[in-house]
Chain A
């Protein structure tokens, strides 16, 4: 058990390390001089450019620059933004809350939609209702989040004017407005996730239904929902954790786009903003932070899974 955990931990560290290399070199091997970002219009003065290059250590070999960067990151120093001069970590921390809030709201909305539909579809597999639900879920998975978002803006903000189209207001500033602004991006992301969750709830339920003890449960006249609560829940919870591990990367990708659609100024918005301002220290810091977070969340889910699922334990041995 402990060797398995240690193994997974080492693997996660190695993956984060590899990702950091990819991020650094993808950004730095690119054509264009980062100094120009800082100097802007006065960048045509060769002496000044050279001076700044030296100051920023850009004349060192790339791998030296890499180790300087990653060494800083390990000490919690992600460098400073090239535009605002503020520490990158501080900027990330000021935005991360909005994104976490959005993702959690989206997962909840996704579950609220997917669980009932999945249970209903699983009661008569292969029948018309199941087919309709499955087709809708393919439609849901096929619809890019920005399309769902735009459709919602068109309907709820433009057509019926129930909700504000886009923007972000801090909770402390105006709680009501904050919630109103959160509804659409969270729902857009949630609908997309619901399509994926639906399939797992349905298939998880079908697995439970096939168990021998279900005969007695059915004979007792339990409704599908009662069956789900009594028997399917634990089973589905385990698969749900696996799905979530796989989905967290996709959720983050979706968040980046949804934040752009609704101008929800979270971490995804920050990434795109640093792209458009060519703030490469902010960009590589943010991307590394988010990717590492995804890897770590996956690791934690994996370990939690091992604790909850007795089968995993016996496989790993009780070290």
Chain B
């Protein structure tokens, strides 16, 4: 049985850890903040117009003038990275949010009603999870014109089962809590109980999962645009820039550095943050 004292103690530990979180976590915070700023206010970061073609200086190596060099059309790679941040970040966030909107209610329903609803939802979840995500994404994106909306929808469809699974598991245990029974005694409807009583108590694992899924979404989005199935040129995309870089790999091996680093830092920062959150919010520790 938990005592009040024990609860207070865990809470205090939580706060201490939050303050003393590692350097890596702080760096991740800064990286994510920078990306968000780039996505919202790209003009603050531009060194040049990311679309300005300079036929006289294609594929220039990094220099003080162009810190990451220029691409095959002489455009400033750094400025194009800044411009590409918007799509990647918004598709990453948007798909995680949409996946949440689809996955969380399904998990609530499956866990709360159990029985038939649970079997049907579990079948959908299992089916989606056993479908290799890249194949599903390729299939849909190749059939429908790749736009930001298509990409958000596709990535959300691939990822929503993770929310469903995590919410379902939590609801299964929360629904037996006595405050849920008290809510039923108070005459609350099932939907009110699910959304107003149970959902607020699974916010923590949802947030942790969301942060991990943003990283996953960025991997899928950049992967698709690397395969030429992402947003189409002339809009710069980090994955698309890598494809171009690969064609000039013998002439300009440094070309791939900037987009590669941009992707790596984004995913790494988000994952470090997700790992940190899940540790600190006690999600994993409780499971171990």
Indicate whether A and B are direct neighbours in the complex (CB within 8 Å).
yes
Which A residues are within 8 Å of any B CB, using their own CB? 11, 14-15, 18-19, 22-23, 26-27, 29-32, 135, 138-139, 141-147, 150-151, 153-154, 158-159, 165, 203, 249-250, 252-254, 256-257, 260-261, 271-272, 275-276, 283-284, 287, 290-291, 294-295, 298
Which B residues are within 8 Å of any A CB, using their own CB? 24, 123-124, 126-127, 129-136, 138-140, 142-145, 215, 219, 222-223, 226-229, 239, 242, 245-246, 249-250, 253, 256, 260, 263-264, 267-268, 270-272, 275, 288
Q: For the complex, what is the distance from the CA of A94 to the CA of B3, rounded to whole Å?
A: 65
A27/B135 in contact, CB under 8 A: no
B267/A142 in contact, CB under 8 A: yes
A144/B135 in contact, CB under 8 A: no
Which residues of B lie under 8 Å from residue A252 when comparing CB positions? 132, 134-135
11 of the cross-chain contacts (CB-CB < 8 Å) are A19-B130, A19-B131, A145-B223, A146-B223, A146-B239, A165-B249, A249-B132, A261-B246, A276-B228, A287-B138, A290-B135
Q: A142-B264, A147-B264 are in contact. Are A271 and B135 (CB under 8 A)?
A: yes
A287/B219 in contact, CB under 8 A: no
Given pairs A150-B249, A294-B131, 7 additional interface contacts (CB within 8 A): A11-B123, A15-B127, A142-B270, A150-B245, A158-B249, A275-B138, A275-B229
B143/A11 in contact, CB under 8 A: no
Q: A138-B272, A143-B264, A283-B142 are in contact. Are A253 and B134 (CB under 8 A)?
A: yes
| Partner among B223, B242, B250 whose Cβ is within 8 Å of the Cβ of A158 | B250
Q: A142-B267, A272-B138 are in contact. Are A257 and B223 (CB under 8 A)?
A: yes
Q: For the complex, what is the distance from the CA of A4 to the CA of B129, rounded to whole Å?
A: 21
Q: For the complex, what is the distance from the CA of A276 to the CA of B243, rounded to whole Å?
A: 15
Shortest Cβ-Cβ A-B pairs, 7 listed: A30-B143, A253-B134, A252-B132, A275-B142, A142-B267, A142-B268, A15-B127
Q: A147-B264, A272-B227 are in contact. Are A138 and B135 (CB under 8 A)?
A: no
Chain A nearest CB from B269 CB (Å) reads: 9
Q: For the complex, what is the distance from the CA of A18 to the CA of B270, rounded to whole Å?
A: 33
B132/A253 in contact, CB under 8 A: yes
> Is chain A's binding surface mostly helix, strand, loop or mixed?
helix
Q: A154-B249, A295-B130 are in contact. Are A256 and B242 (CB under 8 A)?
A: no
A150/B143 in contact, CB under 8 A: no
Chain A nearest CB from B44 CB (Å) reads: 26
Chain A nearest CB from B151 CB (Å) reads: 15
Which residues of A lie under 8 Å from residue B226 when comparing CB positions? 144, 146, 257, 260
B135/A256 in contact, CB under 8 A: yes
| Partner among A30, A159, A203 whose Cβ is within 8 Å of the Cβ of B253 | A159
Q: For the complex, what is the distance from the CA of A29 to the CA of B143, rounded to whole Å?
A: 8
A139/B268 in contact, CB under 8 A: yes
Chain A residue at smallest Cβ distance from B140:
A26
| Partner among B135, B229, B260, B264 whose Cβ is within 8 Å of the Cβ of A287 | B135
Chain A residue at smallest Cβ distance from B226:
A146
B249/A18 in contact, CB under 8 A: no
Which residues of A lie under 8 Å from residue B228 when comparing CB positions? 276
Chain B nearest CB from A262 CB (Å) reads: 10
B130/A291 in contact, CB under 8 A: yes
Which residues of A lie under 8 Å from residue B245 when comparing CB positions? 150
Chain A residue at smallest Cβ distance from B229:
A275
Q: For the complex, what is the distance from the CA of A275 to the CA of B146, rounded to whole Å?
A: 13
B260/A147 in contact, CB under 8 A: yes
A257/B264 in contact, CB under 8 A: no
B134/A294 in contact, CB under 8 A: no
B263/A147 in contact, CB under 8 A: yes
A27/B249 in contact, CB under 8 A: no
A144/B127 in contact, CB under 8 A: no
A154/B123 in contact, CB under 8 A: no
Which residues of B lie under 8 Å from residue A14 when comparing CB positions? 123
A253/B133 in contact, CB under 8 A: yes
Which residues of A lie under 8 Å from residue B132 when comparing CB positions? 249-250, 252-253, 256, 290-291, 294
B246/A153 in contact, CB under 8 A: yes
Q: Name which of B24, B136, B275 has the most chain A CB atoms within 10 A of its CB.
A: B136
B253/A26 in contact, CB under 8 A: no
Which residues of A lie under 8 Å from residue B227 when comparing CB positions? 257, 260, 272
Q: Name which of A15, A26, A142 has the most chain B CB atoms within 10 A of its CB.
A: A142
Which residues of B lie under 8 Å from residue A141 when comparing CB positions? 271
| Partner among B130, B139, B229, B256 whose Cβ is within 8 Å of the Cβ of A150 | B256
Which residues of A lie under 8 Å from residue B275 when comparing CB positions? 138
| Partner among A19, A23, A31, A249 whose Cβ is within 8 Å of the Cβ of B144 | A31
Which residues of B lie under 8 Å from residue A27 when comparing CB positions? 139, 143
| Partner among B135, B246, B288 whose Cβ is within 8 Å of the Cβ of A253 | B135
Q: A15-B123, A135-B24 are in contact. Are A142 and B215 (CB under 8 A)?
A: yes
Chain B nearest CB from A141 CB (Å) reads: 7
A144/B263 in contact, CB under 8 A: yes
Chain A residue at smallest Cβ distance from B215:
A142
Chain A nearest CB from B208 CB (Å) reads: 14
Chain B residue at smallest Cβ distance from A251:
B132
Chain B residue at smallest Cβ distance from A166:
B246
B268/A138 in contact, CB under 8 A: yes
Q: For the complex, what is the distance from the CA of A142 to the CA of B274, rounded to whole Å?
A: 12
A26/B268 in contact, CB under 8 A: no
Which residues of B lie under 8 Å from residue A257 when comparing CB positions? 134, 223, 226-227
